[in-house]
Structure 1
Amino acid sequence: MTALVQYILSNTQLPKTSVENTIALLNEDCTIPFISRYRKERTGNLDEVQIGEIVKNKEQFEALEKRKRSILKAIEEQGSLTPELRDTIESTQDLTALEDLYLPFKRSRKTKADKARQNGLEPLAKIIMSQNANDIESIGFKYVKGDVHSVDEALEGARHIISEWINERSDIRNHIRYQMERNAMILTKAVKTKKEEEQAQKFRDYFDWEEKLSRIPSHRLLAILRAESEGFIKVKITIDDERALAKIEDRLIRSRNACAEQIGLAIADAYKRLLLPALSNEALQIAKEKADEAAITVFAKNLKQLLLGSPLGEKRVLAIDPGFRTGCKVVCLDAKGSLLYNETIYPHPPKNDSSGAIKKISSLCEAYKIEAIAIGNGTASRETEALIRKIHFKNDIQVFVVSEAGASIYSASKIAREEFPNYDVTVRGSVSIGRRLQDPLAELVKIDAKSIGVGQYQHDVDQVKLKKELDTVVESCVNAVGVNINTASISLLSYVSGIGSKLAENIVNYRNEHGIFKSRSAIKKVPRLGDKAFQQGAAFLRIKGAKNPLDDSAVHPESYNIVEKMAKDLGEEIASLVGNEKVLSAINLNKYCTSTIGLPTLEDIVKELKKPGLDIREQAKVFTFNQNIKTINDLQEGQLLPGIVNNITNFGAFVDVGIKESGLIHISNLSDGFVSDVNAHVNLHQQVIVEVLEVDLPRKRIQLKLHKKN
């Protein structure tokens, strides 16, 4: 068993064979979606989350090994690497323990102990630590020479050396870490010169705050750290100093002579100057990392729900980006999302041309055979929705309010400029709103995920970890839904398993030059798309209207021969087999098992044949806010209102009730019983009925209670 496998097994509860085979597949450059879907026999049917855990632990192990090599090289260059130390470093499986081993050899700047050593005081420090001398001052007098001018200076220098030894002892550091882990408190105090500033008021709850560090919720810690970074508060981590010092003394002092007194002074110095600052910072950093992880998990869950939001599908859409003074930007899109027409109307103040706007919308809907209207949920959204609902359309047209989150980011992006080089940002923004209704996933992948705004404190967490996690979520969602290769953008194609941005660009260029792909096998003609990329990505790419119906399914091309054999054995054509649940349910799958294809894959194939290319997402539903609620002043306690969940955090869910301010359903108001996970009770963009509990007009805060889920 390799060290890597051993490391992963020690951190997970996964079977050894599954881990070994998954590592082998990852080393073959297979992606998580491909492995989880098409290599179930090799992984023991591991899902994406479990494979993700293996990937995470594999990366941690590789980072640990890299750090070991760096440390061994640095110590060796100092001439201090012994065989015993090498063995200890190489066997260490914890990064913190590794850094403790390296601490005595880590010299970034000259320390007080270094200066004392230069002055020849290390022998005196050793004598004191032996605790055998009684007249330490007389001994200390022998070291008064050169830059050491008195016995006190000699003893002080010796204590600095002892302090450094104490600081470098792993057992002492681990003891204080234990105290930090169990008992550390986080204390905050307002910066007096800044506490009255307007920007400071949102942090006023933390002007004088105290809480156990191990119990502080992630959102609160991130808020406190943001307040500190903006200069409004000061943060301190504390433990019981007397208890910590007493424990160190118990480990080091075994006499009652003058040496013990010097060691006691060195302990106090080491604790205050070296140990406490470093380990309290370490404890805060660990807490921050846990808070980051919790916040990133929340963001990832929200993003997944958002990306898998209900699509309207291929319908002709009129999209409106509402506004007052600058007007409402209107665009008409065909069923594929192509821009057909754009114009600006001015139904609201200051122009108030509502009659002209109504006529224009009516004529556009008729001229372009519009089937649905998408209205952005930003400024003037409610007023625009009210205007649209006054119009008597000749045909049945559904009206939707669509989230604008991140639309401005897209409209100013390189992608948008390339898509619409001859149009300004306002037109691009309206197109994005309309396309979000048609297919949220296809449109939202064009935006940097963290700009969508469905997380908590996303700008305060580790940005590298955040990007990696969100990219994984996007990749998972894109491959779970599948991609129409003949209509997909470069952005969407780039998230398909095994494709990436360069191959995505090649696919689109090839499509533009040679026309649509008529079969999956034709994908191999794309420049630089080799066998590996085809293996990883082909099954996630759909060919609508293909001659072979399997090309528009999640059945992998490597399994087409199995379906062909099934059809032949049944005396059916593949086309007549597809969708024939009665016949498919009667197939004896054991008959088709081989050394590499087992029941998990065969069951997936039959499931897909029953409903090929089935979209896992629900269909978009029309939603209407209470038309009498236009501002926060219209809210009253006890009101029941329809709303849409627009953000989920660890402490509750935010709900759009049709006004500028979103209301909060605190986690305690999601159910009459105890709630541990907000996501278990509500989903992003879910339609709900809420009860107004409290309206804080000065702070513009709304407290809600979940009444009913739609």
Structure 2
Amino acid sequence: MITIAKETGINVTSVAATAKLLAEGGTVPFISRYRKEATGSLDEVQIQAVRDRMVQLVELDGRRVSIIKSLEERNLLSPELKKKIDAAGTMAVLEDIFAPFRPKRLTRATKAKEKGLEPLADWLLANQGADPAEEAAKFVNADTETDAEKKVADANEALAGARDIIAERVADDTALRGRARKIYEEEATVASKVMYGKDTDAEAAKYRDYFEWSEPFKTIPSHRMLAIRRGEKESFLIMRIEVPLERISRLAEPEWVTGRGPAADQVKQAVEDGCKRLLMPSMETEMRLAGKKAADEVAIRVFADNLRELLLASPLGRKRTLAIDPGFRTGCKTVALDAQGALLHHTVLYATAGSNNQLYEAAVELTGMITKFNIEAIAIGNGTASRETEAFVKKLKLPSGIPVIMVNESGASIYSASEVAREEFPNEDVTVRGAVSIGRRLMDPLAELVKIDAKSIGVGQYQHDVDQRALKTSLDDTVESAVNAVGVELNTASKQLLAYVSGLNASLAENIVAFRTEHGGFTSRDELKKVPRLGDKAFEQAAGFLRIRDSKHPLDGSAVHP
């Protein structure tokens, strides 16, 4: 709790209270609205920060346990080492401590150790003013009956093996890794260039800006990092995160090169090799992951902010609506909806690319629908042919009281082919379902958009490149926050909308809709307790976010918790 309080700047008492409420099954919206006295009035963002950091610390503790177990099994865990492991506050520090003891694949250093050259490496470090030739000769065993893998042909091979052992020790040095990491974070450069032979590839043209590009790692914008990584993934670009070799080797030499002489020269070679061949590639890998994580966080935050703005757009309300999904060759799919969003009629109008006769017929049919269904608003999807469709409709000189509104149609095609749409309109094809979705988005954006996977709404960049689990968590949080901020009408909400209410899930939402269908709607919030599998805890979490219009209890239509 103290760690989270220090990192977030939130009072430790508030952190502890929030952690307790989350552990008891409290949701973020419920805690934020109805447990202010316990948390010290923390908002949703602060509560989410506590929750997410708790998850990270649990993961850190899990890794700590597995490391200790690995060391114990190999009899490598000393009291001093355990103390360092227990004190590690981040995953990077924990992995640095474990690095020298991590079971390794067959490396140059492990091969040298198998040849018995580790004592020579120790001798070089301890006798840096001496000449190592005589000492190295003692490890030559070419004339013996030793296994071929363990033979040392001459003194040069012995010294090379000893240098490999020292190089690996340098790369695994916990303190050095920490200092090198800070240098990479502050001074590294992100550089990209075109993959050899791809500069004339037509597909690579979209990455032309990055054919010869470099900028500081710590200031590179999220969108640029994600663009370069995508170009690399598609094999058009090569990306490097670099620091000059001497910048890192200068850090290591004072700790490892402690004398002058032939042996010290061997150690210096080993240090440089360890930095160049082992430590720096390891740091670059870390920075690539850190850069990706930072870029993901920014992109996901933008996505979530845009989604929230779309979900909380002002609804038109219950008005009879004509919705048009524009098109050229295939025509404009057009539907009439009643004030509750039910489908009354559908047709196809050739209003954008047809003959003069088709344009005339489309105008007659459209005005006829407006009159017949007493249309109060017109929604036009903002996709292909939207401007042409809007111009066609406005030329009809409709009554000024009928607004013509452009609607974001991103994800409508996903909805139209979904199980939800098939369940709502089993006898209609996908074009009709898509047009219905456009109309309903105008009437009530929140209620309609929750039916679509948030990632398909298309309000962010590089959504397929970012961490998908983190994206889903953020978008789910955003939808849940929006739904609970507005509140839900219990007797009309779809099961998809109800599933986002605090304390409910898809199964309970389905049970509520089934109960509502069977019993003719709820007359009070207390009747929720009769819904199968909806217990006291779920009722406590959900009740304050559900509304019942014209309930016999006046507060059932408010945000006041029962």
Match of 1:526 in 2: 531
- For 1:54 and 1:260, the matched residues in 2 are separated by 51
Give 2:475's aligned residue.
470
Q: 2:295 aligns with which of 284, 291, 296?
A: 291
Say which of 510, 515, 522 aligns to 1:510: 515
Spell out, residue by residue over 1:436-459, the C-alpha distance to the aligned partner (whole angstroms, 9 max, x if none). 000111111111112111112222
Q: Distance in 1 between matches of 2:495 and 2:215?
A: 49
Q: Which amino acid aligns with 2:520?
A: G
- TM-aligned CA deviation for residue 510 of structure 1: 1.5
* 2:19 counterpart of 1:27: no
Contact 2:128 2:264 in 1 (8 A): no
**Structure 1 residues 276-315: aligned runs within 5 Å:** 276-315=280-319
2:428 maps to 1:423: yes
Unpaired runs of 5+ residues, structure 1, are 558-710
Counterpart contact for 2:193–2:212, Cα < 8 Å: yes
Structure 2 equivalent of residue 259 of structure 1: 263
Q: Which residue of 2 aligns with 1:161?
A: 165
Over 3 Å counting, the alpha-carbon distance change for 1:365 and 1:395 in structure 2 is: farther
Paired AA for residue 367 in structure 1: K
Matched to 1:518, the amino acid is: T
Match of 1:344 among 348, 353, 362: 348
Q: CA deviation at 1:109?
A: 1.5
Q: Give the 5 Å matches for 1:679-694.
A: none
Partner letter of residue 135 of structure 1? D
Query: 2:239 pairs with 235, 241, 244, which one?
Result: 235
Residue number in structure 1 paired with 2:88: 92
Alignment check: 8 A CA contact 2:117 2:161 kept: yes
Cα distance in 2 for residues equivalent to 1:378 and 1:436: 14
How do residues 205-604 of structure 1 correspond to structure 2 at under 5 angstroms?
205-352=209-356, 353-393=358-398, 396-557=401-562
Q: Distance in 2 between matches of 1:424 and 1:166?
A: 66
- Which one of the candidate residues 59, 74, 82 is aligned to 1:63? 59
Q: CA deviation at 1:153?
A: 1.0
> How much has 1:483 moved relative to structure 2?
0.7
Query: By how many angstroms is 1:34 displaced?
Result: 0.3
- Kindly indicate whether the alpha-carbon contact (under 8 Å) linking 1:499 and 1:533 is maintained by their aligned counterparts in 2: yes
1:92-171 equivalences in 2 (<5 Å): 92-131=88-127, 134-145=130-141, 146=146, 147-171=151-175
SS in 1 for 2:239: strand
Contact 2:129–2:263 (8 Å) recurs in 1: yes
Q: Could you tell me whether the CA contact under 8 Å between 2:140 and 2:154 is conserved in 1? A: yes
Determine the C-alpha separation between the residues in 1 that align with 2:24 and 2:512.
23
Same amino acid, percent of matched pairs: 52
Distance 1:247 1:104 in 2: 19
Give, as a single letter, the amino acid of the residue that structure 2 aligns with 1:411: S
Which letter maps to 1:122?
E
Aligned with 1:109: secondary structure? coil
Shift of 1:348: 2.7
**Alignment-mate amino acid for residue 127 of structure 1:** W
Name the count of aligned residue pairs. Answer: 553
Relative contact order: is structure 1 or structure 2 higher (C-alpha 8 Å, sep ≥ 6)?
A: 2
Query: What is the letter of the counterpart of residue 377 of structure 1?
Result: N
- Identify if the C-alpha distance between structure 1 residues 255 and 230 changes in structure 2 by more than 3 Å, giving closer, same or farther: same
Report the counterpart of residue 46 of structure 1 in structure 2.
42
Contact 1:127 1:133 in 2 (8 A): no
Q: Is the Cα contact below 8 Å between 1:163 and 1:267 reproduced in 2?
A: yes
Structure 1 equivalent of residue 14 of structure 2: 18
Q: Structure 2: which amino acid aligns with 1:252?
A: W
8 Å contact 1:7–1:61 — kept in the other structure? no
| Conserved? CA contact 1:131–1:257, under 8 Å | no
TM norm structure 2: 0.96
Give 2:489's aligned amino acid: N
CA change 1:351–1:485 in 2 (3 A) is farther
Q: Which runs of 4+ in 1 moved over 6 A?
A: none
**Which amino acid counterpart does residue 433 of structure 1 have in structure 2?**
I
* Residue 393 of structure 1, CA deviation: 4.0
Please give the per-residue CA displacement for 1:89-142, whole angstroms capped at 9, x wherever unaligned: 122111101001111222252111111111111111111111256131111111
How far apart, CA to CA, are the structure 1 residues paired with 2:51 and 2:207?
A: 38
Contact 1:222 1:288 in 2 (8 A): yes
2:245 maps to amino acid: D
Q: Report the residue type matching 2:314 in the other structure.
A: S
What's the counterpart of residue 602 of structure 1? Answer: none
Q: What amino acid is aligned across from residue 380 of structure 1 in structure 2? A: A
What is the CA-CA distance between 1:350 and the residue it aligns to?
3.8
Contact 2:128 2:258 in 1 (8 A): no
Which runs of 5 or more structure 2 residues have no equivalent in the other structure? none
- C-alpha separation in 1, matches of 2:413 and 2:242: 44
Which of 172, 185, 194 is the equivalent residue of 2:176? Answer: 172
1:531/1:463 CA distance change after superposition, 3 Å: same
Does residue 83 of the first structure (1) align with residue 79 of the second (2)? Answer: yes
Indicate the SS of the match to 2:6: helix
Letter in structure 2 aligned against 1:44:
G
Aligned to 1:185: 189
Residues 655-697 of structure 1 show CA distances to partners (whole Å, capped at 9, x for unaligned) of xxxxxxxxxxxxxxxxxxxxxxxxxxxxxxxxxxxxxxxxxxx
Superposed CA offset, 1:371-398 (max 9, x none): 1111111111112112211224468322
Q: Return the offset for 1:479.
A: 0.2
CA distance in 1, matches of 2:69, 2:519: 55
Letter matched to residue 263 of structure 1: V
| CA-based RMSD | 1.4
TM-score normalised according to structure 1 size: 0.76
Whole-Å separation in 1 of the counterparts to 2:175 and 2:197: 42
CA distance in 2 between partners of 1:286 and 1:392 (Å): 57
